[in-house]
Structure 1
Amino acid sequence: MFVLVNLKAYDCDPVAIAEAAAEVADASGERIAVAPQAARLSAVADAGVETWAQHVSPVEHGSHTGSTLAEAAADAGAVGTLLNHSERRITLANADDGLGAADRAGLDTVLCANNPAQAAAAAALGPDAVAVEPPELIGGDESVASADPAVVEESVEAVADVDDSVEVFCGAGVSTGADVAAAADLGATGVLLASGVAKADEPESVLRDLVSEI
């Protein structure tokens, strides 16, 4: 299972979380990545943890003020990027172009979706993985794997029907090792979470728990 921690714009110490994630990953042998704000990509990468961008823009080099260039994210240490998160929705065309930009920069990709139908459409664009995250459960206390397991199972099936090389991750409300285990039981190969780690008093303890039942 892949544990991808999105720090969003939470008031947290991204380097401290990155160091904790690197330590837990080394100790457990599990794959853990951290996605900080773009301005902190280099600092997080320097902590030795796998580092992801929260978003890259569907642009090439040129006059694109305010954009996050995929090559710049890669140069800062990112090895992958999220696209189309519920808090950063983009059009289908921009998702396709964003995937192209990420591929151009050598970044792995997770394309987010709300439900099985969107997951199938996302898979058709050829990302490395699709993360299914019902928006109403994001930031909540109940994981999608327990609140709505059918949406995970149906997304796994929908994606496999389109392209069985695309992995499916489970997001929204994931915060414990039991949530991760439940996601794995439903066919997911990774989890995407945020507040469970970013807002925790002891992020390292949460990270250890997250990988404890894998």
Structure 2
Amino acid sequence: MFILVNLKAYPCDPVEVAEAARDVAEESGVRIAVSPQAAHIERVAETGVETWAQHVSPNDHGSYTGSTLAEAVADAGAEGTLLNHSENRLKLADIDASLDAAERAGLETCVCGNNPEQIGAVAALGPDSVAVEPPELIGGDVSVSTADPDIVVDAVDAAGAVDESVDVYCGAGVSTGDDVLAAQDLGATGILLASGVAKAADPRAALKDLVAGL
């Protein structure tokens, strides 16, 4: 299982979370990555943890003030990027262009979708992975794998029907080791979470719980 921790714009210490994720990954052998704000990518990457951008823009070099250039986040140390998170939705054409930008910069990609139908559509664009995240469960206390396991199963099937090489991650409400195991049992190969770690009083303990059963 792959655990991708999205720090969003939460008021946490990104370096503290990154160091905890690095240590837990080394101790457990589980792949763990941290996705901080763009301004913090370099600091997080310097800890040695696998680092992802929260977004890259669908443009190349040029007159694009305010954009997040794929090459810039790669130069800062990012190894991958999220795209089309429910809190930063993109048009399908822009997802495709952002995927091209990420590929140009050598970044691994994960495209989010709200439901199995969207997962099938974005999987057709050729990302490395997709993440199903019903928006009503994001930031809540109930994991999608518990609240509506059929969504995860159907998302896995939808992606597989398009491209079996695309990994499917489970997001929204994931916060415990039991949630991780439930997602794995439903066919997901990774999880995407945020508040369960970023808002935890002890991020290291939260991460240890997530990997305990793996």
Alpha-carbon shift at residue 128 of structure 1 (Å): 0.2
SS at match of 1:154: helix
Q: 1:1-214 alignment to 2 at 5 Å?
A: 1-214=1-214
Q: Which residue identity lines up with residue 119 of structure 1 in the other structure?
A: I
Q: Over residues 38-67 of structure 1, what are the superposed CA-to-partner deviations in whole Å (9 max), with x where a residue is unaligned?
A: 000000000110000000000000000000
Unaligned runs of 5+ in 1: none
Q: Which residue identity lines up with residue 165 of structure 2 in the other structure?
A: S
Q: Over residues 115-153 of structure 1, what are the superposed CA-to-partner deviations in whole Å (9 max), with x where a residue is unaligned?
A: 000000010000000000000000000000000000000
Alpha-carbon shift at residue 106 of structure 1 (Å): 0.1
Q: Which residue identity lines up with residue 90 of structure 1 in the other structure?
A: L
Aligned partners of 2:213 and 2:130: how far apart in 1? 23
Normalising by structure 1, what TM-score? Answer: 1.00
Aligned partners of 1:117 and 1:66: how far apart in 2? 31
Aligned partners of 2:58 and 2:158: how far apart in 1? 26
Q: Which residue identity lines up with residue 213 of structure 1 in the other structure?
A: G
Alpha-carbon shift at residue 83 of structure 1 (Å): 0.1
Aligned partners of 1:123 and 1:93: how far apart in 2? 13
Aligned partners of 1:201 and 1:113: how far apart in 2? 29
SS at match of 1:99: helix
Q: Over residues 168-190 of structure 1, what are the superposed CA-to-partner deviations in whole Å (9 max), with x where a residue is unaligned?
A: 00000000000000000000000
Q: Which residue identity lines up with residue 159 of structure 1 in the other structure?
A: A
Fraction of identical pairs, as percent: 69
Q: Which residue identity lines up with residue 101 of structure 2 in the other structure?
A: A
Unaligned runs of 5+ in 2: none
Alpha-carbon shift at residue 213 of structure 1 (Å): 1.0
CA RMSD of aligned residues (A): 0.3
Normalising by structure 2, what TM-score? Answer: 1.00
Aligned partners of 1:5 and 1:105: how far apart in 2? 22
Q: Which residue identity lines up with residue 198 of structure 2 in the other structure?
A: A
Q: How many residues align?
A: 214
Give runs of ≥4 in structure 1 deviating > 6 Å.
none
